[in-house]
Amino acid sequence: MFVPEEYSLRGRFIYLIDAGLEVGEGALGIVIPSPLIRSNRTAEVIWGSCKEEIITDSDLREIDLYSSFQGLLKHEGKAKFGAAYHQWQIDAANFNIDDHYPVRELWARARSCWTKILTHESMSVLVVAHNAVNQALVATEA
C-alpha cells in the first residue's frame, strides 16, 4: 500500500506492506496500561476492536511524590523545598518525602510489573505507561 503523505527522514515515500499492517491486527497478545485516563485511552486506540480485555495495572502509575510535591511545577518545588528538591535531583534513590522514598517505591513497582508481564511469556505484551515508570521498567528486572 502506498501512502503518499508519509515520508521517511530522507524524504522518501513510505510504503506500507501487508506484514506491517498486520502488526495492529492481532499481533499483540495483551495490552497493559497504567490506570491514568490518557494511558487507558491510548491502550484502547491501539487495542482497537480486539475482544480480549485490557488489563490495567496500578503499579504502572507515575511516581508518587505524595502531598508535599504533588502537583507542583518545577520552579514551585525548588522555591518551596529547596534542599529536598536538590536531593531529588542529585540523589534520587535516597530522596525522602513524607516518610517515603518515592524512587525506591517506583523501582519496587517496576519489578512487580516485570513479574506480571513475564507471566505472559508466550505473548507479545505492550505496556502503556509514563515517563518515570517506563524508565524504571528499563532499569530494573523481575
What 8-state DSSP symbol labels residue 12? P
Co-location of 27 and 38 in the same domain:
yes
Domain around 76: 65-99
Place of cell 496500561: 33
- How is 48-97 classified by DSSP, letter by letter? TT--SPP---GGGSPPP-HHHHTT--HHHHHHHSHHHHHHHHH-GGG--B
The per-residue pLDDT for 7 is 42
Tens-of-pLDDT digits for all 142 residues of the chain? Answer: 444 444 444 445 555 455 444 555 556 788 999 999 988 898 888 888 777 789 999 999 999 887 777 888 888 988 988 888 888 889 999 999 889 999 999 999 999 999 999 998 888 899 999 899 999 999 988 7
Co-location of 16 and 57 in the same domain:
yes
Q: Give the chain's domain count.
A: 2
C-alpha angle 49-24-115 in degrees, rounded to nearest 5: 90
The per-residue pLDDT for 116 is 94
Q: Cell triple for residue 30?
A: 495483551
